[in-house]
Amino acid sequence: MTRTHRLGVTARMIAVLVVLGLAVFPVYWMLVTALTSDEALFGGGLTLLPDLSRLGVFGDALQDGEVVRWLLNSLIIASGTTVLSIALGVPLAYALSRFRFAGKAALGLALLFTQMLPEALLVVPLFAIFRRVDLLNSLHGLVLANTAFVLPVVALILKGAIDGVPRELDEATRVDGGRPPTVLLRVILPLIGPSIAAAAVIAFFHAWNEYVFAVTFIFDKSLQPASVGVAGFIGEQDTSIQSIMSVAVLFTLPAVAFYLFAQKYVVGGMTAGAVKG
């Protein structure tokens, strides 16, 4: 290994560490702030290290029934959106990848164009539709709204993965008498598992962090997800900064935990098809 190559590797490692630090530091600073006393916070004694003796602030936050309810609502919405978007996205992606039908190209473009529309533009028409079908102020209504918004992304990701599966495998299964559903379940799904995991992470993160639909469609405070609850929690009177930051950390942890659980599949999904066999 030449000196120039070693310097290049070192420079890349430093760049990765800098980017990683920039991404992680906001969450770390929330943790430090949550574990800082009022005297240190407002008296100029703030440090970069958290005071672990004040971990009880998270227990105090969890004792608040509203915070736990917000997190549970967010978990229900995010899990429902993930499952429904994958359940609908897999057959849609399979149809776009393997079948020929009138309007196929137009449908693909329509899926792409939907991502150019901001959520704020869809709120009013969705609100009118949901009011007619009695889906306002319900968690399953939010699941449907989030699924409608994220489904095109999921379908396009999975279509790209299915495109990378050799058609010869489909044909071999059909020769043995397998119909399209059998091909999808027994041949395609096992091969695109990493891409499904990547799409699931995207769907989960979107639903977990979504705010516009939630604040518009939910009126009952007991049904609010954490994204809305935390935003309102910040504006309450006599709420300490430490309490706000502790709730913010608790809101962040489930999404981080889900990503860490799925990260090996996410990496595999991003690199799927990069090397042809």
What ranges do the domains of the chain cover?
1-54, 64-271
Report for 187-196, 204-213, 241-250: range of highest mean pLDDT? 204-213
Residue 188's closest CA among 200, 175, 204, 171? 171
Compute the mean pLDDT over every residue in the chain, rounded to the nearest whole number: 83
Secondary structure letter of residue 137 according to DSSP: T
Q: What is the mean pLDDT of residues 134-159?
A: 92
Residues above pLDDT 70, as percent of the chain = 90
- pLDDT (0 to 100) of residue 45: 64
pLDDT of 3 above 80: no
Q: What is the mean pLDDT of residues 47-58?
A: 80
pLDDT of 80 above 90: yes
Q: What is the mean pLDDT of residues 99-123?
A: 81
Query: 275: pLDDT confidence band, cut at 50, 70 and 90?
Result: very low
CATH superfamily name and code, 64-271: MetI-like (1.10.3720.10)
pLDDT of 1 above 70: no
Instruction: Point out the least confidently predicted range of 11-25, 74-88, 97-111, 148-162.
Output: 97-111
